[in-house]
Amino acid sequence: MQHVSPVREPLVTGGKTYHDVTQDVSRQVEAAPNIRWMAALAVALFFLGIFFYSVYRTLWYGIGEWGLNKTVGWAWDITNFVWWVGIGHAGTLISAVLLLFRQKWRTSINRAAEAMTIFAVICAAMFPVLHMGRPWLAFYVFPLQNTLGSLWANFNSPLLWDVFAISTYFTVSLVFWYTGLVPDFATIRDRAKGPIAKVAYSLLSMGWKGSAKHWSRYETVSLILAGVSTPLVLSVHTIVSMDFATSVVPGWHTTIFPPYFVAGAIFSGFAMVLTLMLITRVVFKLEDYITLEHIALMNKIMMITGSIVGVAYITEFFIAWYSQVEFEQYAFINRATGPYWWAYWSMMTCNVITPQLVWIRRIRYSIPATFILSIIVNIGMWFERFVIIVTSLHRDYLPSSWAMFSPSWIDIGIYVGTLGLFFTLFLLFAKFFPVINMAEVKSVLKYTVDNGPTYTGHDPHHAVHQPATHGVPASAPVNHDKHD
Amino acid sequence: MQESPKYWKGVEELENSPEFVKNALTEFADFLPMKETYGSSDATVAPRRDFLKLMGFGIAAATLASCETPVKKAIPYLNKPEEVDPGIANFYASTYFTGQDYNSVLVKTREGRPIKLEGNPESPITRGGLSARAQAAVLSLYDGARLQHFSIKGQKADKDRVDQEIRSKLAGAGRIAIVSPTIISPSTKKVIAEFTSRYPGTEHVMYDVNSASSLLRANNGVLPAYDFSKADVIVSLAADFLGTWISPVEFAAQYIKNRKVSSEKRTMSRHFQFETALSLTGSNADVRVPLKPSELGGAALALYNAVVGGGAGASYKNEQLTKAANELKAAGSRGLVVSGSNDPAVQTLVAAINTALGSAAVDVAAPSYVRQGDDARMDRLVNDIIAGRVGAVIFYHANPVFNHPKGAQLAAALPKVGLTISLNDRRDETGSLCQYAVPDHHWLESWNDFEPKRGFLSLSQPAISPLFATRQAQDSLLTWAGNPQSYYNYLRGQWQGVLGGDFQKAWDKAVHDGVATGTALPAPAAQITPAMSAAAAASAIAAAPKGSGTELYIYEKVGIGNGSEANNPWLQELPDPVSKATWGNYVAVPRAMAKEKGWEQNDVVKVSANGKSIELPVLIQPGQANGTVSIALGYGREMAGKVGDKVGANVLPFATVREGAVVYSANVTLEKTGATSPIAQTQTHHTIMDRKPVVQEATLKQYQKDPKEVTEYEKLVTPEGKVMPGKVSLWQDYEYKNHHWGMAIDLNSCIGCGSCVIGCQAENNVAVVGKQEVINRREMHWMRIDRYYSSDAHKSDFEEKGKLATYAAMEDPSENPSVIFQPMMCQHCNHAPCETVCPVLATTHSTEGLNQMTYNRCVGTRYCANNCPYKVRRFNWFSYYSNEKFENVNGHMFTDLGRMVLNPDVTVRARGVMEKCSMCVQRIQLGKLEAKKQKRRPQDGEIVSACAQSCPTQAIVFGDMRDPETRISKLLRREDGERAFHVLDAINVQPNITYLTKIRNTEEVRNA
C-alpha cells in the first residue's frame, strides 16, 4: 500500500486504459514484423556473422589472431568484457533496487532494461571464455571433482570469483526477468490466434492463470529476487574490479576500484538503457509509456554516477602523487600524457565533462541530446576500461618490456560481433516478447493517469471492470481482455 | 508362463547331435558368462544389462577404431648399442669451429642423436663457455637444406661416378685451387698437402670473411694470442673482442676475470673503446669514443705518438685518447692495445705500441691459429679465376660468391672454369654454380682435429652416424689424392706422432676430454710480406686521404656472424645484443643524421657506392659515430635455405680490396626511398627511466670507498624503523626443507653476448616465431637480456624542467650512451604474483622454491603474465609446431628430421598455454636422481641450469641456497648489503634470483 501524491506528474501519459496498455504492447508481438525491424535484424545478423567468423579464427588459429603481445596480455577482450558487464548493471538496478525503493517510474522500462542486462551479460560472458588460450578446457575453472588427483580451482584468484559472480548474476537476472514475463506471456497466450503462438506462449507462460495465489506468489518472488539481486548489483562489478585491484600492476593496484567500478557500471548501464529505450520508444510508438520524465530521471542518475566516476579518476591521480610510489606516478602520468593520451582524454571528455551537460534542463529533456549523450557515455566507458587495462599494462615495471598494443581485425570483429549478438537478441526480444511489463504498468496506471483508468469499452468482449480502490495495485486486469 | 513357439535353424539343431551341441556351445566365446551371472535358465535370452554392456562396448570400440591413431614406429633395438640407454643422455666431447670462433663442446646426445651442445669445462681456452653461434650449431645438423647426396650439375649422382669424373678432370686441370676459410686442423692440412703433392698445380687459399689479414701481416704472419686477464688498461681500436673478434668466448672469460670485483678485490681493469658502431665490446667499455672509420688510423697514430712517440703529426685529437695513452703508459706491461681494423698500417702501429709497452697480454710465441686468411692471395686467386687462369676450383666450406667483395664477378666467371667442386654442406650461392657437389658431413658427424692455439689441441668425434649420403671432405680429398685410407685412420696416424707414449691410452683420453696438449701445426712461416715499419705505417696513415661524405662501416653481428649459418632460425631470432634487432640487417644511423635528413626508424633507404646499391631500413642507433652508418654483413643470403634466404641485404659488395687487404668501410650516399620496412626488435624502449629498483650500477671509486654504499635499497617504514621489504609480510612463508634453488647474476660479469639465450632455447625447446611475430612483440625466449642505454635526462631535472618534460626526455638515449645489460628470466618469486591469480592453479610453487608451470592444467587466461612485474611469461599465441605460418621459421618442430633436436625431457608446449623459465627443472631433477641413486645429496655445481652452463663469463651462479656451503650461498652472504639486490624489491614478491650491482671503472654513473 502506498500513497501517491496527487501533485506527482503522471508516469504514463495519453490517458491510457488498461486495454490500451495491453493493446499497445501486444501489438508488437502479434503483428507481422515491420520492415524497419527486419532491416535492423538483417544488420544485426550481419554483425553476428562477423562475430562467428572472428570466433572461428580465434578458436581455429589461436589468440595470436588478436593484437595482444607478451606485455599486453589483455586488451580488447577484457575491455569488452568489463564494458558489457557494466552495461548489464542497469537492468538489475532498475528492477531490483528501484523496486525495493518503490520507484514506480521504473515499471515501463524495467522489462527492456532487464532484457538488456541478460543480453549484455551473455555478450560479456563470451569474453572470459574466448580470451582463454584453450577455451575447450574452460570447465577447469569450476571446482569440479576430478579423477586427476587433488586438482582444484584456485580460490585466491579473482578470475575464479568472477566466474561465481557473473554466473550468479546471470542466473538471478534471468530468473527475475522471466518471472516478470510470465503474466505478460499469459496475456499474449490468451490473445494468440495462431497455433504456434498459442503453443509457444502457453509453454512460456507456464500455466499462469492470474489467480490471486499466482499474483501473491509473483509479488513474493519478485520481492525476494529483488532482495537477492540488490547485493549483486554491487558485488558483480566489485569483483570484476578486483581482477585489477588485487594485482601488482601499477594503475591496477588500487583500493578505490570497487566503488569506482560499480558507479561506472551503473553509469554505462543507464547510458545503454537510454540508447535502447529511445530507439524502442520511437520504433514501437511507446512514447506514452516511456515519457520525457523517465528520460530526465535516467539522465540524472547518469550524471550522478558520471560525477562519481570523475571523482574517482581524480582521486587515482591524487593517490598516485600521495603514495610517492614511482611506478604508480609514472603509470598515471603515462596514462594522461603517454602514447595513449588520446584514449585517456577521450575517456575524460566522454565520461566526466559531457554528462555535466545534464544540469541544463533543456538537454535533460531533449531526446536527441540524450541519445547523443548516451552514445558518448558508452564510448567513454569503453575507453575507460581500455585505458585502465592497456595503458597500465603497456608500460609497467621494466622499461625493456614496454610495448604498444594495436587491435587486429579479429579483435574488432569480435567486438562489433558482440554488438551484433546483442542486437540480434534484443531485436528478437522486442519482437516476440512484450517489451513493457504490462502487468506492472497497469498497476501504476490508475494513479498516474489524470483521472484514473477509464474503460471506453471499445472492445465488445470486454467486461466492465471496477477499478480497485485508489492506490491498490491492480493485479487482476490481465485476463479481462479475453473472455470466451 | 506362455511357451514361445520353437524354430530350428536347421535339421542339425532339430536332431541335436552331440557334435552340434558342442559347436553350438563354442559358437559364442566363453567370455560372456551371462548365464552364470544372472542365472537365466534360457541361454538364448541375453539379459538387458548384457545387451547394454555389449552395445556400450561396441559403440566405444567402433568410435575408437574410427579415430585416427598416429602410427608410432617405436622399434626396439635388435642389438642395443653400447652406451645408449633410452632416456639417459650421453655426452661426447667435440669441437666447434667453422672458420669463425673456436669452441670446445660437449655434445649431449639422447638415444643416439645430438640434442644440445654445452661448453667443455676441460678446455683451457673456452673454459666451459660457449658462444651463441656454437650453441645453435646443433640445429644446423638437422637442417633440411643440407645436401643429402652427391650431385653433378644439380642432378643426383652416383658416388663412384663422381669420384671417377673428378679424378680424371683433376688430372688435366693444370692449376687447381682449394678455397676455404681458415683451417686449424693439422690433419686436414696434411690431407690438403697430400692432395697438393698428387696434383702439384694445387694452391690452397684461405680467406676470412671478417678478415684479420692485416693483423697477421703486421705481426710477421702470426696472429698474436691475447690474454685480456693480464691487462689492466685495455684500449681497443674498433676490435669487438667480446663479440666477434678472433676468439670472443676465450677473450670474454679473460676480460671478465679482471672485471669481477668483491669486497676483497676492489680493483678492475679499465677499458677504452674507440669505434664506429656501438658494438658489444663498446657497450661494456668504461670509456667509449665514437669515431669514423677514416679517423681510426689517425687515432692509432695519435695513440702511437703519445705512447711511443716519434710518429708523424696525427690528425686525430681526443681528450679520452690522451687519457688512454697516459693510462697505458702508466700501466706499462699491464697495458694492451688491440684493433679490429684491417688496415696494415693501423695494425703495425698497434703492434708497435704493444711492443713498446712490453705488454704481457700479447703472446706471439704461442700464437693463435684461428685466423689465417690472406686477403691478398684470395684477391689474386679471384682475379685469376675471373681471368680464366685457373683450371679447377674446390670450394671447401667457402662461399665467396656470397661473402667475397668480388662475389658477383666470381659468379659470372665460375661457369667458365673447367672443373668446379663444392664440398659445402648445401647448394649455396657458390655451390650452385659448381659442377660437382660432394657435400661434407656436418662436424657432429665427423672426426677431426683442431689446433686453435699453438700447444692446444682438440678433437671432434661423430656424435651421430651421417644423416645423409654425404662424405667427409677430408675423405673426398684423400680419395681424389689416391689415398685409400679413411680419414679417421689418417687422423689417428697423425696423432700418433703428437701424443706419443701409450698411444691408445692417450688417444682415448684425448677423445674423452676433447682436448689435449701438444702441437701439430707448424709454426706459421713468415711467408707473408713482412710488416712495414712503424714509421712507414705512421706516414702511410698521415698520408691517407680523409674520409668524405657519409662513411659506411661494415661489421659482423654476434648471432649471424659471417652468414654461413644464416639458415639457423635460432641465430636469426637471437636479438642483436645492442640493438635488440632480429631477422635481418639494417642501416644503423646516428640520431643526429636521422634528424638532419628527416629519417625515422624503419624508413627504407637506398645505400649506394661504386655503382652498387642495396635497400635497407633505418635503425636509429645511439652511439653510432656521427657522419657514419653501419650495416652488418652475413645477411642477404640467396641460397641458404628457407630460413635464411632474403633476410636483409648483402653489404659485402661495398667492401673493397685495397693494397691486399679488404677494407670494411666505404663512402656511400643514402637516399630515402619512401617505403618502410619494420625492424623486428625485441625491445623497443631503450632507457631505464631512472628506475633504480630495476637495475643498479655504481663507480669503482664508490665501491672502493665503501662497498656498502653502492646499492640503493628501498626500505619500508614500520613501527620498528626502516626494514627491507622482505622482512615485512602478510603472507605465510614457504618452508624449504630440502632444497631452495636460486640464482645470482653478476651484472659486472654479464657482457650481454646472448649465449644463454640460445642455450636456454636449445635446452627447453623454445619455439622460433619469425620476423612478423617478433614485430608483434611475441618472441618466446624464456631468457632475455635487457639492454638499457643511459639518457641525458634524469629525475634530478624534475624541479627544473618539470616532470612531464623530464619523463619525455628520459625516453631518449644519450648520443653516446653507457650501456647496461641485465639477463632477465622468471625470478621464481617466493611470493609470486602469478601464482595467486591463476584461476586453475596451473602455476604453483614447488617445495624447492621453483615457480612451476603445469602446461596440462593451463587454460591460458594470461592473467599471470599481466601480473608478472618482470614480464617473463610467454604465451603460445599459435600452435608453433603445426601452424603452417611457422613452417619456415620453426621448421625443426614440423619435420621428423628437425624434431630430432628437441629435448625429450621438455614438453613442446601446446597452443594457448603459458610458458616460462623453469630453472631447468629437468636438469635439477636429473641431478637429484643421480645423487639419490648414489645415496647422497647433490653436490654443488653438479646441477647447473642451461644458461649458467653456457655463460662464457660465469656471470650466472646457480645453486641450492639452503645449503650454506654452496657457491651461491657464499656469494649471497658475501654480497649481502653490498652488491646483492632483488629487482623491484619493494613490491615484495621475494625473487629467488639475486642480481649484483654493476661496477664501472668510470668517473660517474650515467644511468642514475
- DSSP class of B978: T
Q: Would the pLDDT of B872 be above 70?
A: yes
Are A131 and B914 a contacting pair at CB < 8 A? no
What percent of chain B clears pLDDT 90, i.e. is strictly above it?
46
Q: How far apart are the first and last CA of chain A?
A: 33
Q: Which helix (H) or strand (E) holds B259?
A: none
- DSSP class of A25: H
Of A290-299, B63-72, B669-678, the least confident: B63-72
Residue with cell 510508438: A285
pTM here? 0.88
Closest CA of chain A from B986, distance in Å: 10
The predicted model gives B21-49 an average pLDDT of 60
pLDDT band of residue B43 (cuts 50, 70, 90) is: low
Neighbours of B846 (CB within 10 A): 17
- DSSP class of A390: I
ipTM of the complex: 0.87
- CATH code 2.40.30.330 for B548-681: no
Instruction: Domain B151-206+373-517: give its CATH code.
Output: 3.40.50.740
Residue A327, amino acid? F
For B911-961, the DSSP string reads: TT-EE----SHHHHHHHHHHHHHTTSPPPTTTS--HHHHH-TT--EEEEET
- The helix/strand/coil state of B881 is coil
* Nearest-angstrom CA–CA distance, B690 and B820: 13
Q: So what's the pLDDT on residue B936?
A: 93
pLDDT band of residue A473 (cuts 50, 70, 90) is: very low
* Nearest-angstrom CA–CA distance, A55 and A65: 10
CATH architecture of the domain with range B697-1000: 2-Layer Sandwich (3.30)
- Picking from B863, B870, B995 by the largest number of A CB atoms within 10 A of its own CB, the best residue to mutate is B863
Are B839 and A399 a contacting pair at CB < 8 A? no
Q: Would the pLDDT of B921 be above 90?
A: yes
Residue with cell 561465481: A164
pLDDT band of residue A477 (cuts 50, 70, 90) is: very low
- The helix/strand/coil state of B612 is strand
Cell numbers linked to B774 = 617478433
Are B875 and A61 a contacting pair at CB < 8 A? no
Are A403 and B684 a contacting pair at CB < 8 A? yes
Are A133 and B911 a contacting pair at CB < 8 A? yes
* Nearest-angstrom CA–CA distance, B331 and B824: 36
Are A68 and B877 a contacting pair at CB < 8 A? yes
How far does Cα B642 stand from its chain's mean position? 19
Radius of gyration of chain A measured on its C-alpha atoms? 24
Q: So what's the pLDDT on residue A481?
A: 39
Going through B444-555 in order, the beta strands assigned E by DSSP cover 448-453, 456-460, 515-517, 550-555
Q: So what's the pLDDT on residue A148?
A: 59
* Nearest-angstrom CA–CA distance, B939 and B960: 9
Q: Would the pLDDT of A8 be above 70?
A: no
Residue with cell 503462438: A197
Q: Which helix (H) or strand (E) holds B145?
A: none
Closest CA to B314 of B531, B532, B537, B553: B537
Closest CA to B822 of B637, B955, B918: B955
For A70-103, the DSSP string reads: SS---SHHHHHHHHHHHHTHHHHIIIIIHHHTT-
Q: How far is CA A227 from CA A55, A167, A224, A231, A259, in A?
A: 37, 17, 5, 8, 20
pLDDT band of residue B336 (cuts 50, 70, 90) is: very high
Decide if B188 contacts B448 (C-beta within 8 A).
yes
Q: Would the pLDDT of A3 be above 60?
A: no
Cell numbers linked to B988 = 615484495
Closest CA to B927 of B949, B908, B952, B953: B949
Decide if B820 contacts B697 (C-beta within 8 A).
yes
The predicted model gives A363-371 an average pLDDT of 90
Radius of gyration of chain B measured on its C-alpha atoms? 33
The predicted model gives A459-468 an average pLDDT of 43
The predicted model gives B459-482 an average pLDDT of 90
The predicted model gives B237-251 an average pLDDT of 91
Q: So what's the pLDDT on residue A463?
A: 41
Are B836 and A138 a contacting pair at CB < 8 A? no
Q: B274 burial class (0-12, 13-18, 19+ CB within 10 angstroms)?
A: buried
Task: Give the nearest partner residue to B857 out of A74, A131, A151, using CB atoms.
Answer: A151
Closest CA of chain A from B808, distance in Å: 9
Q: So what's the pLDDT on residue A149?
A: 62
Of A113-117, B23-27, B303-307, B668-672, the least confident: B23-27
Q: So what's the pLDDT on residue A460?
A: 44
Chain A residues touching B686 at Cβ < 8 A: 399
Q: Which helix (H) or strand (E) holds B280?
A: helix B280-284
* Nearest-angstrom CA–CA distance, B230 and B336: 9
| Residue B216 falls in which region: left (phi positive, over 0), alpha (psi -120 to 50) or beta | alpha
Decide if A189 contacts A440 (C-beta within 8 A).
no
Closest CA of chain A from B860, distance in Å: 4
Closest CA to B470 of B895, B181, B164, B159: B159
Chain A residues touching B685 at Cβ < 8 A: 395, 399-400, 402
Secondary-structure percent of chain A, ordered helix, strand, coil, rounded to 5: 70, 0, 30
Are A402 and B879 a contacting pair at CB < 8 A? no
Going through B485-622 in order, the beta strands assigned E by DSSP cover 515-517, 550-555, 581-582, 587-589, 603-609, 612-620
Of A281-295, B159-173, B971-985, the least confident: A281-295
Q: Would the pLDDT of B25 be above 80?
A: no
Cell numbers linked to A258 = 570497487
Are B784 and A396 a contacting pair at CB < 8 A? no
For A330-357, the DSSP string reads: HHHHHHHHSTTHHHHHHHHIIIIIGGGG
pLDDT band of residue B769 (cuts 50, 70, 90) is: very high
Neighbours of B27 (CB within 10 A): 7
Q: So what's the pLDDT on residue B635?
A: 92
Are B867 and A249 a contacting pair at CB < 8 A? yes
Q: Among 3.40.50.620, 1.10.3720.10, 3.40.228.10, 3.40.47.10, what is the CATH number of B213-368? A: 3.40.228.10
Residue with cell 635499497: B713
Chain A residues touching B819 at Cβ < 8 A: none
Q: Would the pLDDT of A459 be above 50?
A: no
Rounded to the nearest 5°, which phi and psi values hold at B509?
-65, -40
Q: Which residue of A has its CA nearest to B772?
A: A64
Give pLDDT tens digits for A273-282. Answer: 888 888 878 8
How far does Cα B541 stand from its chain's mean position? 37
Q: Would the pLDDT of B500 be above 80?
A: no
Chain A residues touching B784 at Cβ < 8 A: 400
Closest CA of chain B from A87, distance in Å: 23
Segments making up each domain of chain B, as ranges: 11-66, 151-206+373-517, 213-368, 548-681, 697-1000
Chain A residues touching B883 at Cβ < 8 A: 61-62
pLDDT band of residue A454 (cuts 50, 70, 90) is: very low
Q: Would the pLDDT of B452 be above 60?
A: yes
Residue with cell 703433392: B197
The predicted model gives A234-256 an average pLDDT of 90
Give pLDDT tens digits for B216-232. Answer: 888 888 888 899 999 99
Q: B626 burial class (0-12, 13-18, 19+ CB within 10 angstroms)?
A: middle
Residue with cell 675471373: B386
Q: Which residue of B has its CA nearest to A163?
A: B839
Average pLDDT in chain B: 88
- The helix/strand/coil state of B698 is strand
Q: How many helices (H) and strands (E) does chain B have?
A: 33, 43
Residue with cell 581485425: A409
- Beta strand B819-824 pairing with B419-422: unpaired
Closest CA of chain B from A261, distance in Å: 19
Chain A residues touching B874 at Cβ < 8 A: 70
* Nearest-angstrom CA–CA distance, A374 and A370: 6
Q: How far is CA B897 from CA A279, B103, B142, B146, in A?
A: 63, 25, 6, 11
Q: Would the pLDDT of B784 be above 90?
A: yes
Segments making up each domain of chain A, as ranges: 18-135+247-458
Are A134 and B859 a contacting pair at CB < 8 A? yes
The predicted model gives B296-309 an average pLDDT of 87
Q: So what's the pLDDT on residue B2?
A: 61
Q: So what's the pLDDT on residue B503?
A: 85
Decide if B131 contacts B119 (C-beta within 8 A).
no
Q: So what's the pLDDT on residue B255?
A: 92
* Nearest-angstrom CA–CA distance, A192 and B37: 59
- Length of chain A, please? 484
Decide if B477 contacts B191 (C-beta within 8 A).
yes
Give pLDDT tens digits for B312-323. Answer: 677 788 888 888
Residue A100 or B408, more confident: B408
Give pLDDT tens digits for A315-346. Answer: 999 999 998 888 999 999 999 998 999 999 99
HEC readout, A165-212? HHHHHHHHHHHHHHHHHHHHHHHHHHHCCCHHHHHHHHHHHCCCCCCH
Decide if B1007 contacts B698 (C-beta within 8 A).
no
* Nearest-angstrom CA–CA distance, B923 and B930: 11
Are B863 and A157 a contacting pair at CB < 8 A? yes
Q: Would the pLDDT of B925 be above 80?
A: yes
Residue B513 or A150, more confident: B513
Closest CA to A11 of A448, A476, A477: A448
The predicted model gives B52-73 an average pLDDT of 78
